[in-house]
Amino acid sequence: MPEPRFNRIAVIGLGLIGGSFAAAAKKHNLAASVVAGSRSARTLEQGIALGVVDDGSQDLAKAVQGADLVFVSTPVSAMGAVLAALRPGLAPGAIITDGGSVKGRVIDAAREALGSHASRFVPGHPIAGKEKSGVTAADADLYRDHRVILTPTTETDPAATARVRAIWTAMGAEVLQMAPDYHDQVLAETSHLPHLLAFSLVDTLARQGDSTEIFRYAAGGFRDFTRIASSDPVMWHDIFRENKAALLQALGLFSDGIERFRQAVEQEDSDALMGIMTRANTARAHFLAMNGRTSYTRAQHSGDDTIMTDSAIHKGNANPTYTVAPGGQLAGRLRVPGDKSMSHRSIMLGSLAEGVTRVEGFLEGEDALATLQAFRDMGVVIEGPHNGQVTIHGVGLHGLKAPGKPLYMGNSGTSMRLLTGLLAGQAFDVELTGDASLSKRPMERVAKPLRDMGAQITTGNEGRPPVRIRGGQSLKGIHYDLPMASAQVKSAVLLAGLYADGETSVTEPAPTRDHTERMLGGFGYSVRRDGATSAVTGGGTLTAGKLEVPADISSAAFFLVGASIAPGSEVTLPHVGINPTRTGVIDILKLMGADIRLENQRDAGGEPVADIVVKAAPLKGIEIPESLVPLAIDEFPAIFIAAACAEGDTVLRGAEELRVKESDRIQVMADGLAALGVDHEVFEDGIRITGGEFGGGEIQSHGDHRIAMSFAMAALRAKGPIIIHDCANVATSFPGFAGLATHAGLNLEEA
């Protein structure tokens, strides 16, 4: 067992929070001894009897004698008196931290009570709790997988902050750090205000003459919202008083919102009502996704599994692991989700169109929902999605409004890059942010040509997010030769061209997906296409209409590969988009000997679609033609699995773009192949894979959805189980993948 981090920890206030801190310190051997200070002799007796603490005293100065860490967990209003009472017993180097839910007033009290020792005070707030209170409810695991916010000031000793951070981390908590004022503002808006509103609503109804009847017929929604009005009035009385300024500011914002709602109802303003309610309908999931750094779709369906309040954060299974047993075969008619690229663009162009656009087959996945939320944040009324149906009330090319906060793109590089172009010509400033993975991806490749058009754009360190765009710039049309094939860069420049003076044209060195050009035409905007060059002229108008999104060939690719490599398999994938700029995966698999045929070919909203039938077939290694690389850039993780099952070598070159996707897909796939025992050689721009038998193993997907799904299919030919970690982002492009794959015959368990 490691040596304790502290010699003696003193916990002042032995309720649930303090008692759980003491219990966790003992469980993890974080101190040689843990003692308590409390005004209540009975509480001390209970704490000692339960083994939560080793000893205690009602004299707070005596309780902290010899302690090198003091954790104060008392009501915020009592904090000043408590700190003053314990100060005489503090050792010169003792660190003090607290668990108060309001930081500004606590810091003021600490400065006054502790004097020169205030530099050793590290303000903190554990966001954890449960319904029971008191030392008898103490739980050594209360803080595991929960958040603790530290709010050190400029005078706080950094070494003290580091030691407090370390002990919370050792207890299993995730430690965040923010300014005290910001902490109080955030908690006022997300916790204190909801409690105030619940108390107010219940009190208002209780004072009505017919309150008995009102409560008798109250529905579940009323009970759920007003449940928090049963919280401890004494505690919340203190919080409301101690966080007065921030709470009043939050209450003012809420009052403004209520007034907008009242006016919309009074004036029967249908668009305003729908705007408020559609934004609110998805705002909770968006909020939880950002705060939990989990998938938007997982947060959307989490119910009460992921709730942030002042008393607790309860997390669901935010980052599942796939365990896939070896063997099996795939069969059936499998409808994969809608095309992600087209879903993005349907929201963007529908929002900028004049009139109402109705979309069928919209992908309700993480990335597309990030785009949808961004346009809601810019004032566009969007109904749905409901079973793939979305109704967009377009505002025209110049009708977007400045968002009140940065636009969060989650994991979606497509959202960020295309929006950078589209927003370059707006009248307002905007910032685009993303999750940890997106924040590592290059954005200068988009920013550079947009600056040539007159846009003012800045990026973060090394040209990565966040992306900040200065509004009100006059854009001019340019011709841009893409240095490498990229549909995202091409689309960003063309979308900026809608707002530019004159013609904007882009020439690409190799064909890339042309959904932007096709969809612009579908919305009535003229696009000139001449070989490898596409061009638009600014100043036109987009006209709303009906749009049908076909099934995504990138999602179909996993089943194309799975059915090809598993003996006895046969699947039909209906209504899949077969845009010629996207069918590289089919061409490559056919070159390898795959049995794939297209049936019922037809046109859907300007895009070619077909039902794809694939049967198991022996595959052989090939040298992948470089001309096909841009046409299959997103499908290569799945193709790598096909190569591992093929006879001989498969060689890919000219695919350096794979290194700057959601992960370095060349290296991450190579690491996974190595874990399974597949012979391979990595190049800077590709890989050689030698097919043959391979075993099971553990795969680190690095949060890359396509890596996770590809290795799930590999289990069909593996000799042992494959365990795939970090699979939350599968919802990025394929919500419901695990269920559909299991239904088709894959032996997959999600945990």
CB count within 10 Å of CB 484 equals 14
| Domain span(s) for CATH 3.40.50.720 in the chain | 6-178
Average confidence (pLDDT) over 255-277: 87
Please tell me the number of Cα atoms within 13 Å of 610 on its side-chain side.
16
Query: What pLDDT does 195 receive?
Result: 87
Q: Which CATH superfamily is domain 553-750 in?
A: Enolpyruvate transferase domain (3.65.10.10)
Asked if residue 586 lies in contact with residue 596, where contact means CB atoms within 8 angstroms, the answer is yes
pLDDT band at 642 (very low <50, low <70, confident <90, very high): very high
Query: Worst-scoring range by mean pLDDT, 48-57, 378-387, 614-623?
Result: 378-387
DSSP 451-469: HHTT-EEEE-GGG-S-EEE
Superfamily of domain 6-178: NAD(P)-binding Rossmann-like Domain (3.40.50.720)
User: In this predicted structure, what is the pLDDT of residue 404?
Assistant: 87
User: pLDDT, tens digit, for every residue of 577-602?
Assistant: 999 999 999 999 999 999 999 999 99
Residue that the structure tokens 């795969």 belong to: 699
pLDDT of residue 272: 81
pLDDT at 305: 38
Q: What is the pLDDT of residues 74-84, one digit of tens each?
A: 988 899 999 99
Q: Which two tokens stand for residue 507?
A: 């020439």
Catalytic residue set: 634
Task: Give residue 306's pLDDT.
Answer: 35
Over residues 360-410, the pLDDT tens digits come to 999 988 889 999 999 999 999 998 888 889 999 999 999 999 998 899 998
297-334 pLDDT tens trace: 554 544 443 333 333 323 344 579 999 999 999 999 99
Mean per-residue pLDDT, 516-522: 94
CATH of domain 341-508+516-530+541-548: 3.65.10.10
DSSP 467-534: EEEESSPPEE--EEE-SS--HHHHHHHHHHHTTEESEEEEE-SS----HHHHHHHHTT---EEETTEE
Name the binding residues for 3-phosphoshikimate: 340-341, 345, 486, 488, 634, 661
User: Given a cut of 60, is residue 37 above it in pLDDT?
Assistant: yes
Q: How far is CA 47 from the centre of its chain?
A: 40
pLDDT of the residue at 304: 41
- Mean of the pLDDT values across residues 193-219? 74
In whole angstroms, give the CA distance from residue 276 to residue 285. Answer: 15
Q: Which fold has domain 184-268?
A: 6-phosphogluconate dehydrogenase C-terminal fold (1.10.3660)
Please name the amino acid found at residue 660.
Answer: V
In the chain, what percentage of residues exceed pLDDT 70? 92
CATH 3.65.10.10 residue ranges for the chain = 341-508+516-530+541-548, 553-750
pLDDT at residue 425, as a whole number = 96
pTM for this model (two decimals): 0.68
- pLDDT value, residue 469: 98
Comparing 202-206, 589-593, 657-661, which segment has the lowest mean pLDDT?
202-206
Using the 8-state DSSP alphabet, how is residue 2 labeled? P
Cα separation, 431 vs 100, whole angstroms:
33
Encode pLDDT of 402-444 as tens digits: 998 899 998 899 999 999 999 999 999 999 999 888 999 999 9
Specify the pLDDT at position 310. 35
pLDDT at residue 307 in the model: 33
Average pLDDT of span 617-630:
96
Q: Is the pLDDT of residue 495 over 50?
A: yes
The answer to whether the CB of 743 falls within 8 A of the CB of 333 is no
**What residues contact 115, with CB distance under 8 A and at least 6 apart?**
87
pLDDT at 1 over 60: no
